[in-house]
Amino acid sequence: MNRSCAWILAVTLCASTLMTADANAQTQPQTSQSSWNAEVAVGWDIGLSGDFLAAGIGTLNGVPVVFQSQPFDDVYGNGLMWQFSGGYMMDEINEVRAQVSYEHVSADVVNLGTAGAFGLVGTFDDYDAWSIEAGGRHYFKKRSERLRPYAGAGIGVSIIAEIDGVLASPQAGLARYATDFYDGTAAFMFGINGGALYSLNDRFDVNGQIGFRYNSGLSAIDALQGTGLEDVNDKSSRWTMPITFGLRVKF
């Protein structure tokens, strides 16, 4: 082999090595990026429909009473919700997720209607609910983009604690009428949502999300049998609109 051929061979080998290294460098960020992530979010679950108590007419302790319908928002307001979730990216735009949510809110004193010719008020236990759900997201931009809008859906179960109440109308002779209203419930739930991720850096994103969620009815009990008010807790299925903001970390 003469010197000219040796130089040509050496240059060819160097060029090939540099091209291979450059290709590896370009593909390395994609292959090293983990598909796993975790997210924590907080927000509000805004009620859209459903009655905590429906309208009814009956008798309690011999006193005629009239219940006016009481939407969930009138009894509990908009509860604060915490969400903890994890996800796995199946490809650049599709993700499967699992989520646990917790919601706690206290009830106000509620004007329920009338007892005889006087007002009837009630107080109720706090609303405590744990939700477990599985679902997915479809992103409209790849992971390399800083702003990534998405749409998602989920299905699961909401574990809601027993709710008792105390009714009172002292002027009508109904000083304190304590009763159960709802037993502990495992309610079916499903929802759809949409939002956007904004990348802060290679590891952290902020997330804003809004959705619509359906919860099946609470477990009615028979404590009001024979009062004429048996149906007041039959319309507790409801739609809500969760609005949350959170932080996501990629592993």
Q: Average pLDDT in the 107-135 region?
A: 94
In angstroms, rounded to a whole number, what is the distance separating the alpha carbons of residues 40 and 6?
A: 61
Look-up: residue for tokens 């609910």? 129
In angstroms, rounded to a whole number, what is the distance separating the alpha carbons of residues 172 and 179?
A: 18
Fold of 34-250: Porin (2.40.160)
> Where along the chain do its domains lie?
1-32, 34-250
Q: What is the pLDDT of residues 14-68, one digit of tens each?
A: 444 444 444 444 444 444 578 999 999 999 999 999 999 999 999 998 899 999 9
Tokens standing for residue 226: 């024979």
pLDDT higher for 7 or 244?
Answer: 244
Whether the model pTM is above 0.85: no
**pLDDT score, position 141:** 95
Residue 98 has pLDDT above 50, yes or no: yes
pLDDT higher for 79 or 57?
Answer: 57
**pLDDT score, position 175:** 84
**pLDDT score, position 160:** 95
Q: Average pLDDT in the 156-185 region?
A: 92
**pLDDT score, position 79:** 81
Most distant CA pair in the chain: distance in Å? Answer: 117
* CA distance to 13, 25, 31, 243, per residue, from 20 (Å): 11, 9, 16, 48
Q: Average pLDDT in the 148-154 region?
A: 97
Q: What is the pLDDT of residues 213-251, one digit of tens each?
A: 999 999 987 778 888 888 898 889 999 999 999 999 998
**pLDDT score, position 135:** 97
Q: Which residues, 6 or more positions from 226, have their beta carbon under 8 angstroms from its beta carbon?
A: none
* CA distance to 41, 61, 122, 222, 230, per residue, from 226 (Å): 45, 11, 20, 9, 7
94-105/79-89 β-pairing: antiparallel
pLDDT higher for 176 or 243?
Answer: 243
**pLDDT score, position 12:** 47
153 neighbors 135 (Cβ within 8 angstroms) = yes
**pLDDT score, position 240:** 95
Look-up: residue for tokens 């005889």? 116
